[in-house]
Amino acid sequence: MTAAPTLDVVAIGNAIVDVLAPSDDAFLAEHALTKGGMQLIDAATAESLYADMAAGKEVSGGSAANTLAGLAALGKKCGFIGQVCDDQLGAVFAHDVRALGIRYDTPAVKGDVPTARCLILVTPDAQRTMNTFLGASQFLPASALDMDLIRSASILYLEGYLWDPEQPRAAMRAAIDAARGAGRKVAFTLSDSFVIDRHRDDFIDLIDKGLIDILFSNEGEIQSLAQIDDFEKAVTAIAARVPVLVSTRSEKGAIALIDGVRYETLAAPVEAVVDTTGAGDLFAAGFLAGHLEGLDVETCLKLGAAAAAEVISHWGARPEQDLLAIRASVLG
């Protein structure tokens, strides 16, 4: 008999330090950057772009790690698997994630490939344009996984961004097998349309084989996955193939489709949108926290929207306000 879970969520994702700096449309055009998107860059481009950026703020990030930060702030027990280099930014990342009470035991690697960093340019309209150098994170091998840790969590949460490199893709497949073998749920976030374009067949295969229990997306991502240029038709097509589909729609709120039943929530009010970095990550944190507690779907969506509203009200992708207090206000 499988032992009862001792953790709520274990996530596998990029171990990244974010560098956020203000920018404008002219700067984006000068550097041929697609506003609001995410692109992978090499070490030389990262160095050149960093040199041209305005003074910024360094904070630990990474999509899955951001979600765990929200979950930990909501009182959940979490673990993270992701690879850093034995360098200064690697030490910063490890310190930050452990300071949140998240278990993090993945050994840092030694060598010439530095810790990943994401250069995030935030324009006055709060749109963030991300330029990611994956560094050491893209070489996470299956041998670095703690399978007992994965089996110990109620939910395995996987970051679509990390599906792109070959080694972590193989590692995540092994992690899915371990989690499913232990009777755990698997949640997957699609992350970005460029990832879907490269790995659509893989993602559809995972869904159709019943290996994904909860799928997170935004409006553009679900349309890309379904290859249907209509949101409603896209969610209908994918929802029929996955137990729980959650899709965020920015200021239009979010929906969830479960067993053919649709649930919706409005976007939570926010005084001013400062930086949209991490909005989807924190939405997933709020939704999963409610799901783990057995709350009704509408409340899970509201928790997700409230957590997302908190993170877009300031710079950076980690919560700064008391999410438990925000949770209490949502629950009334």
pLDDT of residue 10: 98
Query: How does DSSP classify residue 161?
Result: G
Give kind and range of the element (H or E) at residue 178. Answer: helix 166-181
pLDDT of residue 152: 98
pLDDT of residue 2 exceeding 80, the answer is: no
Looking at per-residue pLDDT, the higher value among 126 and 99 belongs to 99
pLDDT of residue 111 exceeding 60, the answer is: yes
pLDDT of residue 54: 94
Q: What angle do CA 191, 216, 117 make, to 5 degrees?
A: 25
Looking at per-residue pLDDT, the higher value among 8 and 18 belongs to 8
CATH architecture of 7-14+62-112+136-331: 3-Layer(aba) Sandwich (3.40)
What is the average pLDDT score of the chain? 95
Confidence at 57, pLDDT banded by 50, 70, 90:
confident
Q: What is the mean pLDDT of residues 249-268?
A: 96
Coil, strand or helix: which one is 191?
A: coil
pLDDT of residue 147: 97
Q: Is residue 165 a contact partner of residue 139, using CB atoms and an 8 Å limit?
A: yes
pLDDT of residue 128: 87
Confidence at 40, pLDDT banded by 50, 70, 90:
confident
pLDDT tens sequence across 260-310: 899 999 999 999 998 888 999 999 999 999 999 999 999 999 999 999 999
**Which of the given ranges, 44-58, 105-119, 219-233, has the highest pLDDT on average?**
219-233
Displacement of CA 259 from its chain's centroid (Å): 24
Q: What is the mean pLDDT of residues 11-21?
A: 93
pLDDT of residue 3: 85
Q: Among residues of the chain, what percentage have pLDDT more than 70? A: 100
pLDDT of residue 169: 97
pLDDT of residue 56: 83
Displacement of CA 147 from its chain's centroid (Å): 21
Structure-token pair, residue 100: 């949140």
Q: What is the mean pLDDT of residues 238-243?
A: 96
Distance CA 88, CA 238 (A): 42
For the beta carbon of residue 174, count every other beta carbon within 10 angstroms: 15
Q: What is the mean pLDDT of residues 57-80?
A: 95
pLDDT of residue 1 exceeding 60, the answer is: no
pLDDT of residue 179 exceeding 70, the answer is: yes
pLDDT tens sequence across 114-130: 999 999 999 999 888 98
Q: What is the mean pLDDT of residues 312-326?
A: 93
Q: What is the mean pLDDT of residues 231-239?
A: 97
